[in-house]
Amino acid sequence: MRRRRSLLEEETLEENFWPAFTDVVSTIALILFVLVLLAYLQNLLSGKKMLHIQAELDVTARQLGDSQAKISRSEKELRLLEQKLNVTMAEIKKGETHLRLSEQRVEEQNTIIAESNRELGDLRSQLRGIAVLRVDVIKKVKQAIENELGGTTVNRQPEIAISDNGNIIINENLVFEYNSYEIKPEAKPLLDTLSNAFSTILSDDTVSENVDVILIQGHTDERGSTSFNRDLSAKRANAVLDYMFSAAPKLESRFGRYFASSAYSKFRPVNEGKNEKAYMQNRRIEISVVLKDSSVQKVIDQYFANPSQAAATSDPASSFR
Q: How confident is the model at residue 153 (pLDDT cuts 50, 70, 90)?
A: very low
Of 224, 226, 228, residue with least CA distance to 236: 228
pLDDT in tens, 61-100: 888 888 888 888 888 888 888 888 888 888 888 888 888 8
Q: Which of these ranges, 147-156, 160-169, 195-204, 289-298, has the smallest mean pLDDT?
A: 147-156
Q: Are 197 and 277 in contact (CB under 8 A)?
A: no
Count of structural domains, the chain: 1
What is the structure's pLDDT at 57?
Answer: 82
Q: Is residue 99 part of a domain?
A: no
Domain that holds residue 244: 116-320
Tell me what the pLDDT averaged over the chain comes to. Answer: 79
Q: Is residue 93 part of a domain?
A: no
Q: How confident is the model at residue 220 (pLDDT cuts 50, 70, 90)?
A: very high
Q: Which of these ranges, 2-6, 194-198, 227-231, 261-265, has the smallest mean pLDDT?
A: 2-6
The amino acid at residue 40 is Y
Q: Is residue 92 part of a domain?
A: no
314 has a pLDDT exceeding 50: no
In this predicted model, which residue has the larger pLDDT, 59 or 150?
59
Q: Is residue 135 part of a domain?
A: yes
C-alpha torsion sign, points 231, 234, 239, 245: negative
Q: Is residue 248 part of a domain?
A: yes
The Cα–Cα gap between 212 and 134 comes to 11
What is the structure's pLDDT at 154?
Answer: 42
Q: Is residue 24 part of a domain?
A: no
Q: Is residue 30 part of a domain?
A: no
Q: How confident is the model at residue 267 (pLDDT cuts 50, 70, 90)?
A: very high
DSSP H helices in 167-258: 172-175, 188-202, 205-208, 226-247, 249-255
Q: Is residue 32 part of a domain?
A: no
What is the spatial order of strands in the sheet that 284-291 belongs to?
160-162, 168-171, 284-291, 211-219, 259-265
What is the structure's pLDDT at 40?
Answer: 78
Q: Are 214 and 198 in contact (CB under 8 A)?
A: yes
CATH of the domain at 231: 3.30.1330.60
- Please give the average per-residue pLDDT across 238-267, as a whole number: 93
Q: How confident is the model at residue 149 (pLDDT cuts 50, 70, 90)?
A: low
